[in-house]
Amino acid sequence: MRPPSPRSNSPARLLSLYAAMWRNSVTREMSFKANFLLWIVVELLWFALQLAFMSVLYSHTDSIAGWSKWEVVLLVGCSNFLQQLFTAFFLTNLTDVSEHIRTGRLDFMLLLPVNTRFLVSLRKVDLGAYINAACAVGVMVYALHRLQLHPTWLQYAGFSVLCLSGLLLHYSLTFLLCAIAFWSVRAQGFIYGYYNLFNIARLPDSAFPRGAFKAFFTFGLPMLVVSNVPTKVLANRLESPWELALALGVAAVWFALSEAFWRFSLRHYTSASS
């Protein structure tokens, strides 16, 4: 097979391809409008339940580990924002990887003159998740208003970079898990199991005592970093610049590991027809 032209993976070509996949996703979503609206409602109800749970907790106390009610609401909003962005871009695509491998569709993708990881990661878009992400932004704006905080543009820039870092971290960890499908029949269980761990990200990191649990979810599966650090930037709670370095560093490390494991998996892939 002739290797793809270097221009095949140029940013302009990938952007054009992504735009085409976006249009296809819009067409597919609008073909099932009732399902599209139903999932938006379900996700919004779940988000509302998370906020209601926090309200119940704060009806019995004024502070949890030094975090006030509206600081925690800001944290929950940030966590849901990242979760919905991950769902919008990646979740459906990554859960489909094991089916691509099992049915042989991956063989066809490997022959296309485009980066295969890009293709399997971004083929579909969950449009409803964008609406839910916008609602999470609304909750964060309201929480900032109740806290009487007015972040600077530098804080907003830092928050944006950290959110991108958190999104990259979630994607890298999930992509690594979906590559397990090269050796197992299905990997959706691993992915959905990890997805459920997102709930840890909506809790203040200071609420957990020092120990193996906190260390694991700070460095191993850094759920306590993903949402807490961006929220601290907006809420003026950042205690050390090392927290910023940690958030950016773990994202870079896990992305590199996921890429290495993906390449290792492809080298040992014998195709569905072998």
Contact 100, 124 (CB under 8 A): no
CA 7 to each of CA 13, 103, 113, 119: distance values in angstroms, whole numbers, following the listed order: 8, 29, 9, 16
pLDDT of residue 185: 65
pLDDT of residue 67: 92
Phi, psi of 6, deg, nearest 5: -55, -25
Q: What angle do CA 258, 192, 69 make, to 5 degrees?
A: 100
Residue 216 token pair = 């694991």
Strands, E assignment, the chain: none
CA-based max dimension of the chain: 67
**Look-up of token digits 């066809």:** 108
> What pTM value is reported for the model?
0.87
Q: State the distance between the two ends of the chain, measured CA to CA, in whole angstroms.
A: 17
Cα separation, 214 vs 231, whole angstroms: 18
pLDDT of residue 273: 57
pLDDT of residue 263: 92
The model's pLDDT over 24-54, given as tens digits with 9 standing for 90+, comes to: 877 877 777 777 788 788 888 888 988 998 8
Residue 75 token pair = 């944290």
**Look-up of token digits 């990242």:** 82
**With a cut of 50, which residues of the chain have pLDDT below it?**
1-7
pLDDT of residue 34: 75
